[in-house]
Structure 1
Amino acid sequence: MPDRPSPLVAATGVVLDTRGRVLVLTGPGRTEPELPGGPVRDTETPEEGLARALREGLKLTPATGRLLAVDSRPPGPLGRSQIVHVHLVGPLAAPEAAAVSLPGGDTAEARWLPPEEACALLPARTAPRLRAALAALHTGSFAHLVDGVPQPGSPAGLDPARRLALEHSGTLDPASHRASRPKAVTAASVLFTGPDGRILLVQPAYGRSDRWNLPGGGIDSDLGEIPRAAARREVEEELGLDIAPGRLLAVNWSHKPGRPARIRFLYDGGVLDAPALARIRLDPTELLQWRTVAPADLPGLVKPALRRQITACLTARATGTGPLELHAGRRP
């Protein structure tokens, strides 16, 4: 209704390049550094408004990515509250990032900065929004903010010390408690060898294709899938082989600061003879090729943490021990 002021709606882009740098707009014509974006007009959705702002202001036409955060700001000088939707844009390939330009061609006003430098440069009301959005990006989650402050129960952006204090005080309701708890990503892999002891590796068609993996993939835990069933499904989808996994050889836990923990269940797939290897049929949407390699050839093909996991599993298989508890491939 015209006599009831509605909130102002804006859309902001966290525009990244492939090096993880953040695009910040600075220089003449701006009172302070800012992230790309602007008000949503007329009947636009926030996604449409952000796409228009990027197109008009920076000559950028990438698709607006997933929603990272929503920040609600109390009424300001105009007497109206503001709701800001923060979306991921990119990562932009190097040529596209280099081509970013502002009206008039003053490219010095468009700066690519490491995340911490970007947060230090942005004004106090904007920097916390970027930090929370990046936390949501890295954890695969979402941040709920009020005036830049993550709210109790926000799945991302909430300081761990504050989360613990809220949990211990008993002030979080069950839904907020579940939402704010740390999350983990789970996967299941299978160790196959040939009669000569060579290890079956697969080359992914996504991500870093120069890194080889064991057959396997993510566990669909939201569908009630258990690790063993996921291992069998992934092998059938990737290799076209329906083979029930053998015993559990190891469980590996790995973690990087600011990211979800990653848990991998590693199963013994047994020995594949020549006829079984000949039956392999790759899913081209997931894998480029497969090969068998000697354990001594693992360096340079798989990343060190996975190499340690494979070596530990080969030992557990040979000695009949396990399941092993591994942390980044090492025994604790």
Structure 2
Amino acid sequence: MPDRRPPQDPATPSASSSSETVRAHYAGLAGPLVAATGVVLDLHGRVLVLATSYKDGLELPGGTVEDTETPEEGLARELKEELDLSVPVGRLLAVDSCPPGALGRSLVVHVHLVGPLDPARIAGISFPDGEITEAHWLAPEEAAERLPDRIAPRLRAAVAALRSGSLAHLADGVPQPGSPAGLDPAVRAALEHAGGYDEAGHRAARPKAVTAANVLFTDRAGAVLLVQPGYGEPGRWLLPGGGVDSDLGETPRAAAAREVREEIGLDLEPGRLLAVNWSHRPGFPARIRFLYDGGVLDPDTLARIRLQPSELLRWRTAPRDELRGLVKPLLRRQIKNCLKAKARGAGPLELHEGRPLGPKPPKPPKAPKGHTTSL
């Protein structure tokens, strides 16, 4: 087999050179500049933008990575130096590779999420080194409109990546065809229909969906079993269930059984599928929910419920007419349609935002005169 290795550059140290010589060689190479930028959010989803003493226009927090720092370390240092802000640097949202500009060096920018910051941390922000003169909290689109043209595309792509749970791949601020986030959906569709994708780019750019599985239990009076999580918006109630671990090969039915076992301590096999609900909000992944019939729980079974303490606060059963004050409209519509399907023996239903699609389910047959029907 021919030797495909490139010829050795006489100026490049060999493996037998001393470690100090090798380190000095690579430390002196004229590589691209690396910078780290933070999309710093407050609890309302607003973005922190800064005015500086050394240039016109607004900036995002961050700066050039120094010496042997990683981008995360460089951003953490810049936040401390510029804003006296000591917070963890969150996940990578975007990478922007820029050609040489006025400084004659190419630039690679890593954009990371920081926060959301609570009011106490925001109140502690100051400008100790004097480089920052003002700080503003702006809605993401307003921030993008006010930032310079070289920075605004990074913010827009980073916000898209945050909302979609993905990553944006940019070249000089332009989302690339295979970028999982940041690419205009119409552009993605046009490229796809024109055959402009290879297999890897097509798979990366296709829109993604999040899948969950829940179980509808009732007691003997027909009240619905609800659980209150200790995370997210306070005071909300949900059906037992959760996300499908599809990356582990889990099916929705297996996920429903696992979540019931983990959350409320009942080892019960889900019954028949009552409905599949599709929900979508622009800019976010679609959400698909499989809803299974858990059957009727008798008092002894309800008494065996044991909540997962790290996740759930309380459980209760709620009559149908009390759901409005407990459950958000989207889930409430799903529950009510599943109760109808359960009573009629219909389904599985196809729901969009909790509302039935397709042919209407058949109504239960009327009982002959003189007879009564119980459900």
TM-score bin (small chain): over 0.9
Mapping of 1:73-222 within 5 angstroms? Answer: 73-103=98-128, 109-222=134-247
Contact 2:82 2:130 (8 Å CA) reproduced:
no
1:231 to 231, 240, 256: 256
The answer (yes or no) to whether the contact 1:136–1:142 under 8 Å persists in 2 is yes
**Structure 2 match to 1:71:** 96
Q: How do 1:41-80 residues align onto structure 2 when only pairs under 5 Å count? A: 41-80=66-105
Provide, for residues 93-136 of structure 1, a one-character-per-residue CA deviation record: whole Å limited to 9, x for no partner: 12212332223789871000001110000000100000000000
3-state SS of paired residue (1:6): coil
Q: Which has the larger radius of gyration?
A: 2
Give the conservation status (yes or no) of the 8 Å contact 1:250–1:325: yes
Is residue 311 from structure 1 mapped to residue 336 from structure 2 by the alignment? yes
Q: TM-score of the superposition, structure 2-length normalised?
A: 0.86
Separation in structure 1 between the aligned mates of residue 65 and residue 205 of structure 2, nearest angstrom: 30
- Distance across 2 between alignment mates of 1:79 and 1:15: 29
Higher relative contact order (CA 8 A, sep 6+): 1
CA displacement at 1:308 relative to structure 2: 0.5
Give the number of equivalent residue pairs.
332
Question: Which has the higher mean CA deviation after the structures are superposed, 16-25 or 103-112?
Answer: 103-112
- Structure 2 gaps, min length 5: 1-24, 358-375
Asked whether the 8 Å contact 2:277–2:334 carries over to 1, the reply is yes
- In the superposition, the TM-score normalised over structure 1's length comes to 0.97
Is residue 53–residue 133 contact of structure 2 (8 Å, CA) maintained in 1? no
Cα deviation, residue 280, structure 1: 0.7
Question: What is the SS of the residue equivalent to 2:289?
Answer: strand
Alpha carbons 1:119, 1:128 under 8 Å: kept: yes
Aligned counterparts of 2:193 and 2:92: Cα–Cα separation in 1: 30
2:277 to 243, 247, 252: 252
Q: Supply the RMSD in Å over aligned alpha carbons.
A: 1.5
Q: How does 1:237-316 map to 2 (within 5 A)?
A: 237-316=262-341
Q: Percent identity?
A: 69
Residues 271 and 107 of structure 1, relative CA distance in 2, 3 Å threshold: farther
In the TM superposition, what whole-angstrom CA distance separates every residue of 1:25-63 from its partner, at most 9, and x where no partner exists? 025443221000001111111000000000111011110
Please tell me whether the aligned partners of residues 94 and 158 of structure 2 are also in contact (alpha carbons under 8 angstroms): yes
